[in-house]
Chain A
Amino acid sequence: MGKNAVELSARELVDKYSAMIYRLAYVRLNSNADAEDITQEVLLKYIRADKKFKDEEHRKAWLLKVTANAVVSHIRSQKRSQMVDLEEIEEVVAAPENKHRDLKYVIEQLPEKYRMVIHMFYYEELSIKEISEITGDSEGTVKSQLSRGRDKLKKLLEEGGRL
Chain B
Amino acid sequence: MSDKIKTFYNDMVEEIVPDEKFLNSLVDVLEKEQTQIKRQKTKIYYMKRILPMVACVALVVGTAVFAGVGKDKQGTGVKVQQGDITSPVLTGNFEKNESVSTDKSEYISKLYNKLISDASAYIYVNNENTFVEEKLVSDEEKKNILEILKNGTLTDEYEKSDTKFFMAVFSDGEILKFNISDDTYMEIPSEEIFLKIF
Shortest C-beta distance, A73 to chain B (Å), equals 19
B41 nearest in chain A by CB position: A6
**Considering only CB atoms and an 8 Å cut-off, how many residues of chain A contact the other chain?**
38
B46 within 8 A of A: no
Q: Which residues on A sit within 8 Å (CB–CB) of B28? A: 10
Q: Which residues on B sit within 8 Å (CB–CB) of A118? A: 9
Q: Which residues on B sit within 8 Å (CB–CB) of A10? A: 26-28, 30-31, 34
How far apart sit A124 and B41, CA to CA, in the bound complex (Å)?
Answer: 34
Is A43 a contact of B26 with CB atoms below 8 Å?
Answer: yes
B55 within 8 A of A: no
How far apart sit A32 and B28, CA to CA, in the bound complex (Å)?
Answer: 19
For this complex, 30 residue pairs linking A to B, each with C-beta atoms less than 8 Å apart, are A10-B26, A10-B31, A11-B27, A18-B18, A18-B23, A18-B26, A19-B17, A22-B17, A26-B16, A27-B16, A36-B19, A36-B22, A39-B22, A39-B26, A40-B26, A40-B29, A48-B33, A50-B37, A100-B12, A103-B12, A103-B15, A106-B9, A122-B6, A122-B9, A122-B10, A123-B9, A150-B2, A150-B5, A154-B5, A163-B1
B13 within 8 A of A: yes
A102 within 8 A of B: yes
How far apart sit A18 and B21, CA to CA, in the bound complex (Å)?
Answer: 13
Shortest C-beta distance, A123 to chain B (Å), equals 5
* Known interface pairs A6-B38, A14-B26, A44-B33; A102-B19 also in contact (CB < 8 Å): no
How far apart sit A12 and B19, CA to CA, in the bound complex (Å)?
Answer: 16
A76 within 8 A of B: no
Q: Which residues on B sit within 8 Å (CB–CB) of A79? A: none
Is B5 a contact of A43 with CB atoms below 8 Å?
Answer: no
A143 within 8 A of B: no
* Known interface pairs A10-B34, A150-B2; A23-B16 also in contact (CB < 8 Å): yes
Residue from the list A22, A40, A123 in contact with B10, Cβ < 8 A: A123
Is A27 a contact of B13 with CB atoms below 8 Å?
Answer: yes
How far apart sit A23 and B17, CA to CA, in the bound complex (Å)?
Answer: 7
Q: Which residues on B sit within 8 Å (CB–CB) of A13? A: 30
Q: Which residues on A sit within 8 Å (CB–CB) of B2? A: 150
B4 within 8 A of A: yes
How far apart sit A122 and B2, CA to CA, in the bound complex (Å)?
Answer: 10
B8 within 8 A of A: yes
How far apart sit A84 and B6, CA to CA, in the bound complex (Å)?
Answer: 36
Shortest C-beta distance, A110 to chain B (Å), equals 10
Q: Which of B29-64 contact A (CB under 8 A)?
A: 29-31, 33-34, 37-38, 41
Q: Which residues on A sit within 8 Å (CB–CB) of B1? A: 154, 163
Shortest C-beta distance, B4 to chain A (Å), equals 6
Is B13 a contact of A123 with CB atoms below 8 Å?
Answer: yes
